A and B are shown apart, each in its own frame.
Chain A
Amino acid sequence: MRIGVYVCECGKNISATVDVEKVVDYAKSLPNVAASRVYKYMCADPGQELIKKDIEELKLDKVIVAACSPRMHEPTFRAAIEDKGLNPYTLEIVNIREQVSWVHDDKKKGTKKAKSLVKSSVMRSALMEPLDRKKVGVTHKALVIGAGIAGIQAALDIAGSGYQVTLVEKTSSIGGKMAQLDKTFPTLDCSACILSPKMVEVGRNPNITLIANAEVEQVDGYVGNFKVKIKKKPRYVIEERCTMCDDCVPVCPVIVHDEYNENLSPRKAIYIAFPQAIPASYIINPDDCLGIDPLICSKCKDVCGPEAIDFDMKPEIIEDEFGAIVVATGFDTYPIENLGEYGQGNIPDVITGLEFERLISPGGPSTGDLRRPSDGKLVKNVVFIHCAGSRDPAKHLPYCSKICCMYSTKQALMFKHEVRDGTAVNFYIDIRTGGKDYEEFYQRAAEEAKVIYIRGKVSELIQDGDKILVKGVNTLTAETVELHADLVVLATGIIPSQGTKDIASVLRLSLGINGFIKEAHPKLKPVETSITGVFVAGCATGPKDIPETVSQAGRAAVRACNIIAQDEIEVEATIAHVDEILCRGCGICVGTCPYSAITLIDTKRFGNIYKVASVNEALCKGCGSCAAACLNGAINQFGFEDKQILAMIQALGEE
């Protein structure tokens, strides 16, 4: 046994708090250590060469690197020692940066802690055994969940690389929130005009299988081999036959709120979400319809020329396998009902930003004339309230929703273009224009279009006759402001959508403190998740504007292609294994495993049948929960055997 110990200075990151020379000297005194060296940047090429040279010349068979977190450079050093013929699992990383130098000030104590950690790793290293990585095949097909702009872009990019991709959408049409917007900042392009070509392309691309009105119910398996169950709800209209003639709509007797128009207009129980909807087919909502089973009305079927309506459709479970998954389940807006200070949704002319988009849209409920919801009067003056529910850790969301400054500015500008003699007032906390051409856009609104900006929050909205009394403060002049408005638009913040929460629980993805899906690394792995092979794009990880969402979708697509382009991939070797002699079949591990990787199987011993635990090697993620839970010590994890961990504890205890 010949162990090499390499201590990194990491510039001053480590050496300022840890006396690295002392650690090196100390390591030399430990059993089995054949070499101990220090270098300024171990991860740099010369650092790696140092290790490689020693392996060759000193015939090392184990390597310990005392440096930063293994999350940073474990792959680097594993590759380096593998290069010289050592098994990558004989590498041990001692984290003396994040766990020592960055969290301590006292150099004496830091050095002492670093020494003990190195010692415990030397003890463990002696007991480490080479492990084999298993290879598994890959399904050359990707799944994209959610078909807003993020999902659409990801699917198009994967399809564009020549791979098959299935796009699953919960609602009846793809397009998501972007399809509801009238215009987009900072160029004021019509949202539908730039989105619909992409939507059409999704419908046309032979590599894309679109499953709308469907939800992902279950995901099993692992990177390269996800087994997915998709529940497709019945549409009651045969997509291929529907000619979009609209004959069914006038005869339908049921009138309900139109969700696409944010419930500001009516629709029928048989409907199409919006004219550009993809799939281009009508749909019957069974919750709205007078009755499908038993059938009560059937007026739509009677008038349907192409016989597209089929009341006998049943929910369908589609099972398929995918190599990689992109989650693009988007956002919802903070509910107006939570905003007591702004009337809790009880004042009809206090609306959300999305409602404003529909009201001012030519395709919206008032065909483009900005008429207010309460009495249909044309609007002369509007107040926009930024940060409605955002940046308010005491009562609402603690974070900045990022896009509200710009969308309120856009809406104020659109209003001024529509109503030339109207007044638009924006109450803001700070104007955040962190995007290309955003500041210029804001300047244009404030200076050319004379949109009024008041720095301060609105404390209260009160219905006062047919106007709304807006009470606020101007924090630049330290004056209270009271003014009357015809319409108040709340820039409600962005929250994770229900779909995002649902899919996170189906996939067991980690969530951040605000309920958005957590990235594997906030800077360097922004579309990767805690699960290998599952990627995320768009507002599912937090508030984003359209350009950022589209770029993220592109990266998520590339990362998905990285996997599905391969014939086989290696899976982690540090997985759980069962000692069948010690196992008593109690099943505690089965319930403990978060990945459903353990089952109880029958085994024959001394002529009797016993139940014992069995680990599915492909499903096991090596989290170690079962090994910790097992009462008999029958489960161990490769690379983290009990004897290794006990040796470390013993070494630390001797200090």
Chain B
Amino acid sequence: MKNSYFPGCNLKTEAKGFEQSAIAVSKALDAELVEMPEWNCCGTVQTMTTDNLMRRIAPVRVLSRASNHVKELKNSQNQVITLCSMCNSTLKIVNAEVKENPNDLEKINFQLENDDLVYEGDMEVKHFLEILRDDVGYENIAKKVTNPLEGMKIASYYGCMLLHPEKAKIDDEEMPTVMESIVLSLGAEVVDWPYFKQCCGSYHIVDRDDIVNSQVVKIIRNAKKTGANALIVACPLCAYNLDNQQVELEKLGVEKEPIPIFYFTQLMAIAMGLPQKVNHFEDHHINPILLLKELGLIGKKK
């Protein structure tokens, strides 16, 4: 089973480990992510809070190209898969909007004429977490686990974009379970904590890192307080803020003993015994290998 996959900008730069581990995991689970050709920015750099249709051209172009890609893949479902939760949110919202307003879609399609593209409104946007939950199933994930993550106490961090707004949410916004269920099927321990959707500070990292720091401190302290020794995330921006700013906070003397931040797919790759190079741990600011070695999860003799 092959799925059309939309990467988005971060997956090729900051979050190579997220993309490559996700692709490796998807192959192992027979839900392969195949990168769609000629993708562009999901559109999130333009705000979607106005009703200016210009700003929806980029996402609609992505959707129409994904639709063509699905036809090339054959036997693939009419869905495009994202890894970045910001891309997921943007594409989902725009997809829902143009399906509800055929007149808007017509106007946007007019702008796509130069590219010989027409979007028919026939696609669904899914986050990879949804594929794991709905198409693969937790039991099938558990079956592939060869290296159970014993000793890992994981706080699942959803951030804001996976659960809000209503049109884009992938799970119950108050009591999500998808990441926790994956953690359980990998043999790790789930930490129940209230800060799972506290904002990470988002784009304020560009000019107001004090705002981000104040958020990160709250999140990390609460995670530690509830006994977590690692965090998993599904968004490159959350990952960057939580990872890099912990190092900054340590330099500032605000918070010691940083805890590692993983993409959920990286832990899946480790639990499923996939080659470690897909994880690109060298890109992390807090070295995750230390914890994994301490718990004997990597470097063991087989």
Chain A residues engaging chain B, CB cutoff 8 angstroms? 340-341, 343-344, 394, 460, 462-465
**Cβ A344 vs Cβ B195 within 8 A:** no
* A426-B274 Cα distance, complex, nearest whole Å: 54
Q: Are A341 and B174 in contact (CB under 8 A)?
A: yes
B174 and A344 form a contact (CB under 8 A): yes
Residue among A340, A462, A463 making CB contact with B173, cutoff 8 Å: A340
Contacts of B175 in A (CB 8 A): 340, 344
Residues of A within 8 A of B173 (CB): 340
Give the complex CA separation of A23 and B65 in angstroms: 64
The answer to whether B194 and A340 touch across the interface, beta carbons within 8 angstroms, is: no
Q: Say whether B195 contacts A340, CB under 8 Å.
A: no
Chain A residue with minimal CB distance to B175?
A340
Q: Which residues of A contact B174 (CB under 8 A)?
A: 340-341, 344
Contact A462 B195 (CB under 8 A): yes
Q: How many residues of B contact A (CB 8 A)?
A: 9
Closest 6 CB pairs of A and B: A340-B174, A462-B194, A340-B175, A341-B174, A344-B175, A463-B194
- Tell me the nearest residue of chain A to B195, going by C-beta: A462
The smallest beta-carbon distance between A266 and chain B, in angstroms, is: 27
Q: Give the distance in Å from the alpha carbon of A460 to the alpha carbon of B199 in the complex.
A: 13
**Which residues of the other chain, B, contact A343 by a CB distance below 8 angstroms?**
194
Residues on B with beta carbons closer than 8 Å to the beta carbon of A341:
174
Complex CA–CA separation, A464 to B221 (angstroms): 11
Closest to A341 in B: B174
Contact of B250 with A by CB under 8 A: no
**Residue among B166, B172, B225 making CB contact with A340, cutoff 8 Å:** B172
Cα–Cα distance between A464 and B198 once the two chains are bound (Å): 14
Residues of B near any A CB (own CB < 8 A): 166, 172-175, 194-195, 222, 225
In the complex, the chain A residue whose C-beta lies closest to that of B174 is A340
A-B contact number at CB 8 A: 16
A480, B106: Cα distance in complex, Å:
41
Q: Could you tell me the dominant secondary structure of chain B's interface residues?
A: helix
Q: How far is the CB of A324 from chain B (nearest CB, A)?
A: 46
B180 to chain A, nearest CB (A): 14
Distance of B60 from chain A, by nearest CB (Å): 27
- Considering the chains assembled together, what is the distance between the CA atoms of A344 and B177 in angstroms? 14
Residues of A within 8 A of B195 (CB): 462
Residues of B within 8 A of A344 (CB): 174-175
A388 to chain B, nearest CB (A): 13
CB distance from A481 to the nearest CB of B (A): 16
Q: How distant is the Cα of A465 from the Cα of B224 in the complex, in angstroms?
A: 12
Within the complex, what minimum Cβ distance (angstroms) separates B158 from chain A? 13
| 13 sampled A-B residue pairs with Cβ under 8 A | A340-B172, A340-B173, A340-B174, A340-B175, A341-B174, A343-B194, A344-B175, A394-B166, A460-B194, A462-B194, A463-B194, A464-B222, A465-B225
In the assembled complex, the CB of A333 is this many whole angstroms from the nearest CB of chain B, namely: 19
A392 CB to nearest chain B CB (Å): 13
**How many angstroms from the CA of A394 to the CA of B166 in the assembled complex?**
10
Contacts of A462 in B (CB 8 A): 194-195, 222
B194, B195, B222 — most chain A CB neighbours (10 Å): B194
CA distance A568 to B173 in the complex (A): 60
Minimum CB distance partner of A342 in chain B: B174
Residue of A nearest to B192 (CB): A346
Nearest residue (CB) in B for A343 is B194
Chain B residue contacts of A460, Cβ below 8 A = 194
Question: Distance (Å) between the CB of B87 and the closest chain A CB?
Answer: 26
A472 to B12 alpha-carbon distance, docked (Å): 38
Alpha-carbon separation in the docked complex, A460 to B166 (Å): 17
Q: Would you give the shortest CB distance from B242 to chain A, in whole angstroms?
A: 18
- The answer for the CA separation of A72 and B195 in the assembled complex, in Å, is 58
**Cα A465 to Cα B172 with chains together (Å):** 26
In angstroms, Cα B175 to Cα A340, docked, is 7
Determine how close the nearest CB of chain B comes to the CB of A105; give it in whole angstroms: 28
B187 to chain A, nearest CB (A): 25
Q: How far is the CA of A340 from the CA of B176 in the complex (A)?
A: 10
Residues from chain B with a CB closer than 8 A to the CB of A465 are 225
> In the complex, A462 Cα to B173 Cα: how many Å?
15
Measured CB to CB, the closest approach of chain B to A75, in angstroms, equals 49
Q: Which of B174, B175, B225 has the most chain A CB atoms closer than 10 A to its own CB?
A: B174
The smallest beta-carbon distance between A279 and chain B, in angstroms, is 43
Q: Which residue of B lies closest to A346 (CB)?
A: B192
Residues on the A chain within 8 Å of B194, using CB: 343, 460, 462-463
A463 — which chain B residues lie within 8 A by C-beta? 194
Q: Which residue of A lies closest to B172 (CB)?
A: A340
In the bound complex, CA of A465 to CA of B175 (Å):
21
How far apart sit A340 and B163, CA to CA, in the bound complex (Å)? 13
Kindly state the separation between the CA atoms of A465 and B166 in the bound complex, as whole angstroms: 31
A464 to B225, CA, bound (A): 9
Chain A residues positioned under 8 Å from B222 (CB to CB)? 462, 464
CB distance from A470 to the nearest CB of B (A): 12
B222 to chain A, nearest CB (A): 8
Extra 13 A-B pairs, beta carbons < 8 Å, given A340-B172, A344-B175, A462-B195: A340-B173, A340-B174, A340-B175, A341-B174, A343-B194, A344-B174, A394-B166, A460-B194, A462-B194, A462-B222, A463-B194, A464-B222, A465-B225
A464: which B residues are within 8 A, CB to CB? Answer: 222
What distance in Å separates the Cβ of A649 from its nearest Cβ neighbour in chain B? 39
Q: Looking at the assembled complex, report how far the CB atom of A385 sits from the nearest CB atom of chain B, in whole angstroms.
A: 15
State the Cβ distance, B192 to closest chain A Cβ, in Å. Answer: 8
